[in-house]
Amino acid sequence: MTAQVIDGRACARQLKEQLVGEVAAARADGVGIGLATLAVGEEYSAGAYQRRLRRLADELGVPYLHRALPATASEAEVLAEVELLDADPAVSGILVLRPLPPGIDEARVFRAIDPLKDVECVHPENAGLLALGVPRFVPSTAASVFHLLDTWLDSVGEDRAAFYHRANIVVVGRSNNVGKPAISLGYERQATVQSVDEWADRTTGIGRHTRWADVLVVAAGKAGLIKAEHVSEGAVVIDVGINPRTAPDGTVHMVGDVDADSVAPRVRAITPVPGGVGPVTDVWLLRTTVRAARLAAEARTPVEVP
């Protein structure tokens, strides 16, 4: 079997074309859109993500603001910065880049974000709505995983509902920002979902769980974790992992959590790294920022009393 490669760049281009229309429509309706990112310290992946978002926002004509605090910033300084962004009417979406330096309580920072500007869905109110199946916003990475799957199913002519209702989806990694939202989105599609974390890997090994998957979503942040013996023949594999690798000449490139060379010959379809989930995630965040701007505009519209 030769796996189909699910082309994230093509999928992102399509989403971006739709988004151009949404941005124009919002402008015509007088809705102000603006994305703000906040970084504390300098981390390679967060820096690369921030630069991609800036480029994309520029291409779409969405105002973009980046605030950078030094790694030595106190939690009070970080919270004060979030409050400024909350209060800024030109900002419709706020993304606090992870990881935050040790000593800063990530959960407290996330709770400080205005839930209506929380485009990455990290505030407990938004995370709760997602878990209850009534999301206000859908976190970009998990949304992209399922957008890629939906698009691929359409491209091969499979009925989405029929596929998901029969599917065993196994999600490797259980972080609040990727694994858990992906689990919720699998439930929303009425699939059977299993969550595997590193304790299974340390004890029984993850293979006995991952081999059960019709759809294997891998978000562990461990380069090459998934090998041929971990997948069943004909599975669909979505590799979320982005792990920087430094070559002997000093250049840095990204590799996934899946050892694609050994896995691809066994499976039906697979996302590459780079060029899979990543490009869709970037566009999704801008898309949510536009939607957040619309929500905020609606919330500001006074209700007319007859």
Binding mask 4-43 for ligand NAD (x = CB under 6 A): ----------------------------------------
Number of residues that bind ligand NAD (CB under 6 A): 26
Q: Decide if 67 contacts 37 (C-beta within 8 A).
A: yes
Binding flag, residue 241, ligand NAD (CB under 6 A): yes
Q: Decide if 235 contacts 152 (C-beta within 8 A).
A: no
> Which span (9-17, 129-137, 177-185, 296-304) binds ligand NAD, by CB under 6 A?
177-185
> Which span (56-64, 72-80, 237-245, 286-294) binds ligand NAD, by CB under 6 A?
237-245
> Which span (27-35, 53-61, 78-86, 217-225) binds ligand NAD, by CB under 6 A?
217-225
Binding flag, residue 125, ligand NAD (CB under 6 A): no
Tokens of 83: 């409050």
Binding flag, residue 115, ligand NAD (CB under 6 A): no
Peptide bond into 248 cis (omega under 30): no
Q: Which of residues 281, 289, 292, 296 is near ligand NAD by CB under 6 A?
A: 281
Sheet containing 35-40: which strands, arranged edge to edge? 64-69, 35-40, 93-96
Q: Which of residues 37, 92, 177, 289 is near ligand NAD by CB under 6 A?
A: 177
Least distance from C-beta 304 to ligand NAD, angstroms?
Answer: 42
Q: Which of residues 213, 277, 286, 290 is near ligand NAD by CB under 6 A?
A: 277
- The torsion defined by the Cα of 125, 130, 136 and 140, in degrees rounded to 10, comes to 110
> Which span (9-17, 119-127, 197-205, 245-253) binds ligand NAD, by CB under 6 A?
197-205
The separation between the first and the last C-alpha atoms of the chain, rounded to the nearest angstrom, is: 65
Helices (H), the chain: 8-28, 44-60, 75-87, 106-112, 124-131, 140-155, 160-166, 179-188, 198-202, 207-210, 260-263, 277-300
Give the whole-angstrom CA distance, residue 256 versus residue 226. 9
Q: Which residues bind ligand NAD (CB under 6 A)?
A: 45, 141, 172-175, 177-179, 196-198, 201, 206, 219-222, 225, 240-243, 277-278, 281
